[in-house]
Structure 1
Amino acid sequence: MWFAGGNQSAGATLPLLGFSEHPDLQVPLFLVLLTVYAGTAVGNLGMIAIIRISPRLHAPMYFLLGHLSFVDFCYSTTVTPKLLENLAVEDRTISFTGCITQLFSACVSSGRGVHPLLYPGVMSPKLCASLAAGPYTWGAVSSLTLTCPLLASSFCGSSIINNFLREHSVIVSVSCSDPFISQVLCCAITIFNEVASLAIILTTYISIFATIRKMPSAGGRQKAFSTCASHLTAITVFHGTILFLYCVPRSKNSWLMVKVGSVFYTEVSPMLNPLIYSLRNKDVKESGRKLMNHLIQFG
């Protein structure tokens, strides 16, 4: 439904350009992203199930990893089904209400990039619960802060979303309303999130590296550095993509790169996290193996 002027946003239908400019990519992308989503769902839900069922994993570290898997699954489920639909059908539109709902849900899950790596011995149950509740609370606050100004916006003319993701800056770019307040809020929240996240990560890894250097065993140091390298890979993919999307000026020729970058942090990162943070863990693999053997015996 097209409209001109007035605050009729609630009844608006916004076309999604997505990857329609590249029709030869539609089928390959659909198959690849469907496979990635299946891997994300199986990996994260499997991780949650293993942690819940195995008594040896009822520890603070695995409690936080379980929440990470839950948030990754929710985030991927918020974004991917609509993307797959857009690749499979010709009607690539979304209602304004659906657009805002998806943006809100995605923002609530945006705190998944911060993963405190603390030893169980220094974490009380109260601290553990606070660490889990913090990202959810901040995500909800950020979501309300970003979406409330959009509810008062109007869209007119050719308001085409040149992306598959209902991302804040993309929605603002097609609005007829003054974008200043929305842009300032988005910039402030993004900078705060990235600075706070990277400061926590940097502080954590300085402590970890200092501990690793004191290890007497060369083999132990090598194994610890290997684990840290895997963690840093996941962090680099997630935060590097966000910094690229928000800090690199956009031109008409850069929209394809923006879409590819969006795929990385919305699709690839949630799939990699259970592999990098959890499934390489000895206790998790052992618990998973026992669970599979149990299911086979009684299946």
Structure 2
Amino acid sequence: MSGANQSCVSEFLLLGLARQPQQRQLLFVFFLSMSLATVLGNLLIILAISTDSHLHTPMYFFLSNLSFVDVCFSSTTVPKMLINHILESQSISFSGCLIQMYFFSVFGNMDNFLLAVMAYDRFVAVCHPLHYTTKMTPQLCALLVSGPWTITNLNALLHTILMSRLSFCADNTIPNFFCDVPPLLKLSCSDTYLNEMMILTEGALTVIIPFVCILVSYICITCAVLRVPSTKGKWKAFSTCGSHLAVVSLFYGTIIAVYLNPSSSHSAEKDTAATVLYTVVTPMLNPFIYSLRNKDLKEALRKVISKKQFST
């Protein structure tokens, strides 16, 4: 395969979400509004946590990291789509596509790992409350964040290098608004066996391991809460995990709809709609979910907003 690492395709066409001009205009406003809400909401959470000393705890440290990743995750795909709309273009260069795929993989997998880390944090808080401060040390918290960053970057680098080896000969249209691994593999005219094996083995582990950790953590949490004698105590324990459970359900529910359904049930429209949910809608909703269910965070956000109003 002497030409396996040379592609005849210099760019790809991102078909986006709509063909009609009226629909494109509406979707442009829709995605621009969601993107601004995502950035503003998550940056407010980061600012509130960093400025309020009462929130300098492991739980809020992980939440601020999740907010940062959500901003990056959404910014990986939406700005390019908005720029293409303004320029009335659908193209993305071959190298640009690989770069977008790389960062999409990094931030998407970081969401997985951070949700697992936050589940472990809730497990320690509920099941071992007396040892929480000794177990969740600053060193461990830093390790629980830096470790996933290393893993996700290496994982994304592997898949990007493997993708760059493939040839793309004729069809260069991607039926989505960003570059992702599955549609690119379908377009390749090279042997994609190695890429697919890496996705099914190493790639799957980056999703399955965090998901199993979340399940185990919440099984242990549920068992511990059920042993609490008072109803008020049970409700208080469950309420501390409610926001996290809501985010986990939304994120993994949409991922399962895209990647784990039988191929016979897939369609471009359904896959694109589900992709929009976990790449755009979920990062936007996370700040609202956490702030609406958390009194301490709401109070910190109130202080941040009131300071800005006073300064102006």
Q: TM-score over 0.5 for the alignment?
A: yes
- The percent of aligned pairs where both chains have the same amino acid is 38
The CA distance in 1 between the partners of 2:305 and 2:154, in whole Å, is 40
The corresponding residue for 2:13 is 15
32-41 or 287-296, which moves further after superposition? 287-296
Can you list the C-alpha shifts for 1:257-299, whole angstroms capped at 9, x where unaligned? 1111110110011112222235521111111212222233333
- 1:98 deviates by 0.6
- Return the match for 2:196 from 159, 163, 183: 183
Distance in 1, matches of 2:256 and 2:201, equals 13
Distance 1:24 1:293 in 2: 40
Contact 2:112 2:207 in 1 (8 A): no
Counterpart contact for 1:47–1:66, Cα < 8 Å: yes
TM-score (norm 1): 0.90
Q: CA deviation at 1:47?
A: 0.8
1:276 to 289, 292, 295: 289
Structure 2 Cα separation of the partners of residues 242 and 164 of structure 1: 17
Structure 1 CA distance for aligned equivalents of residues 69 and 216 of structure 2: 23
Among 61, 65, 79, the residue aligned to 1:81: 79
Question: Equivalent of 1:147, from 152, 160, 174?
Answer: 160
Single out whichever of 35-44 and 83-92 deviates more from structure 2. Answer: 83-92
**Residues 255-264 or 276-285, more deviating:** 276-285
Which residue number in structure 1 is paired with residue 129 of structure 2? none
Q: Where does residue 40 of structure 1 map in the other structure? A: 38
Q: Does 1:197 align with 2:172?
A: no
**2:91 partner letter:** T
Q: What is the deviation of 1:173?
A: 1.1
Task: Give the secondary structure class of the aligned counterpart of 1:91.
Answer: coil
CA deviation map 1:153-191 (0-9, x unaligned): 221112211111211111111112111111111222342
CA distance, structure 2, for counterparts of residue 277 and residue 200 of structure 1: 21
Distance in 2 (alpha carbons) for counterparts of 1:101 and 1:291 = 35
String of CA shifts for 1:197-252, please: whole Å, max 9, x gaps. 22111111122223322444423433543554443232122112222222234469
Runs of 5+ in structure 1 lacking a partner?
none
Mapped contact 2:155–2:203 kept (Cα < 8 A): no
Q: CA deviation at 1:46?
A: 0.8
Alpha carbon RMSD of aligned pairs, Å?
2.3
Number of aligned residues:
295
Q: Which residue of 2 aligns with 1:63?
A: 61
Relative to structure 1, is the Cα distance of residues 253 and 206 closer, same or farther in structure 2, using a 3 angstrom cutoff? closer
Corresponding residue number in structure 1 for 2:23: 25
